[in-house]
Structure 1
């Protein structure tokens, strides 16, 4: 290559010498052309680099535009979805409660709302100087009013939880009060939109709490005016004599019932020879006027003089005024029911009757001095006597059943034997549950035991039947026919359709 270059150079020398000064000019032009070519190449390279950078920038801008478009569409969709949660807050009663203008309204139709696609189109293609409207005017105004009304509210999660708990408790108490009114008021509340909406259903349908309270308040005021005028007429004229007669009759019936209880208890003595007496006496906390009225009501209403009726009238009127002042929220029937409840005027008083006939009041100290068996008997004897007297008023064929849960818990075997002997004397059929309850006493004529065994591994409960026949404890696994031991006619075991079998739709005889 070097040799060829030298040869070409020598070949060009004659041409250069022939040209003379023109050769230098050509060399300068060639040098200038080479410089321009180099500059053009540099500019071309820079232009190509700028074009690549521009293409890359255009791609980035288009990606950013698409991302912004998608983000804006998502934001508009979420906004339109979230803002609809404000709909329950457009209630006038709630706005008044929050201190916001109560004239805010919610759009009446869906035509007022734009879709996210429509909003995107207006934002991207609208006039630059015109800001597109995203929300309906009513919704925007409601949001501004709510934001202004709640600007000073600051509450953390703990305060929100405490408030929710307090509201739930208050609603439960309100529901119980409505049920106690016995007016078929039903409370409805839900928090589907994050806002607890409470309504009361009555004769007028579903109403808000404010409307219900206003209606009840007006009815109460009207009723109070009526009752104020009617109280004197009802108490003094129409009901006073009949009321006195009713209280007298019910008191006499209760006194006779308790007297029969006492007579039955005196006939059943404990192993020590003692027994328990029961009395129905005036309560110690009764005022003197109340004691005077109780004595008057012990007499038949026909024997009451006008002065006696005046005393009763004055007492009840004073008690009603006192009760209404102490409990203004109660209705007049509720106050009457509490004031005329004769059962609170007297209390039960128990005595212990010894074998020699002396009778002393059964105080806590005297009760604790008794033996364990006597303590148990003194607690159960009034119960058995009351059940016996009440059941005696029923049909002779009615069951004389008394159910005892965890029967005789903490009572020793001697105490159980004595208590069961009392139940036999009172002719009571006991249905009892207990942990270790085996009734195998000679004075108990019969008893069916079901012993339950729980298997935690198999998730099952098995029942084993054992029957006490006043002499022996019979078990089915010993080959004993417990059906006959229970005195059953054994007709329920016959298959349906056999000759002589009782049809299933007829009453079957069951025997203890």
Structure 2
């Protein structure tokens, strides 16, 4: 099981007030030849030279059983069987786990984050509820690395679109708290917030219908954005 907790206060941009937690648990084996997710994960993470013939047979039986069971469900319901979809579904590790997100405020009892609860949230809480699972999942993967000094990089396209400046700053603070480095692109985001200590920024400038694109470089030092000499 994995879990990540973040506390968020929309009032001042610090993480205090509303607590979010994400839990993921392995789904139980459903068939006689299926492996428990933890056992399957251990076998798949083994180096190729250390896999025994018995291990390979267990993995083969597991996926064969998963594919056969799903094929039977489709046939019983009269649906068309697509073997590519069956194989893709069996190999999709996201289906090997159950994900549950919870929230609570102060001394309240922890509650599961349902769609109805999400729609009652403020803008800041909605933003955190969307990004906490993403960051928690990436953080869990990086924690598996043997080298603790490896880069912890996030790459986001159209980062934080639709999120206001106050809440974007809180999200940057969350990334800082988790020790992430990041590469982002956006039409409007500069990243110049007090929670960001250092940031290199590249602006792509194309005036009018010009056939060339100019790259303008800046550096944010935590206090001001400075134009870099070309």
Flag whether TM exceeds 0.5 (same fold): yes
* Contact map agreement 1:400 1:429 (CA 8 A) in 2: yes
* Contact map agreement 1:280 1:347 (CA 8 A) in 2: yes
- Which residue of structure 2 aligns with residue 275 of structure 1? 19
Q: Which runs of 4+ in 1 moved over 6 A?
A: 298-301, 339-342
Cα displacement (A) at 1:369: 1.2
Provide the secondary structure at the position in 2 that maps to 1:455: coil
Distance change >3 Å, CA 319–CA 374, structure 1 → 2:
same
Equivalent residue for 2:194, pick from 427, 431, 442? 442
* Contact map agreement 2:169 2:194 (CA 8 A) in 1: no
**Highest relative contact order (Cα 8 Å, sep 6+), 1 or 2?**
2
Distance change >3 Å, CA 436–CA 340, structure 1 → 2:
closer
* Contact map agreement 1:388 1:427 (CA 8 A) in 2: no
- Which residue of structure 2 aligns with residue 250 of structure 1? none
TM-superposition CA deviations, 1:141-178 (whole Å, max 9, x none): xxxxxxxxxxxxxxxxxxxxxxxxxxxxxxxxxxxxxx
Provide the secondary structure at the position in 2 that maps to 1:348: strand
Q: Which whole-Å CA distance do the structure 2 matches of 1:336 and 1:436 have between them? A: 41
Q: Could you tell which deviates more after superposition, 321-330 or 439-448?
A: 321-330
TM-superposition CA deviations, 1:231-270 (whole Å, max 9, x none): xxxxxxxxxxxxxxxxxxxxxxxx3xxx2xx2xx32x311
Q: Which whole-Å CA distance do the structure 2 matches of 1:440 and 1:336 have between them? A: 45
Cα displacement (A) at 1:409: 0.7
- Which residue of structure 1 aligns with residue 120 of structure 2? 369
Equivalent residue for 2:72, pick from 322, 331, 339? 322
**Mind listing any 5+ residue stretches in structure 1 that lack a counterpart?**
1-254, 302-312, 483-512
Distance change >3 Å, CA 387–CA 419, structure 1 → 2:
same
* Contact map agreement 2:101 2:112 (CA 8 A) in 1: yes
Normalised by the length of structure 1, the TM-score is 0.33
Normalised by the length of structure 2, the TM-score is 0.69
Q: Which whole-Å CA distance do the structure 1 matches of 2:120 and 2:127 have between them? A: 12
Provide the secondary structure at the position in 1 that maps to 2:206: strand
Distance change >3 Å, CA 452–CA 354, structure 1 → 2:
same
Q: Could you tell which deviates more after superposition, 345-354 or 419-428?
A: 345-354
What is the count of residue pairs matched by the alignment?
A: 197
Name which one, 1 or 2, has greater alpha-carbon Rg.
Answer: 1
Provide the secondary structure at the position in 1 that maps to 2:8: coil
**Mind listing any 5+ residue stretches in structure 2 that lack a counterpart?**
11-16, 41-61
- Which residue of structure 1 aligns with residue 208 of structure 2? 456
More helix by share: 1
Cα displacement (A) at 1:359: 0.5
Cα displacement (A) at 1:321: 7.0
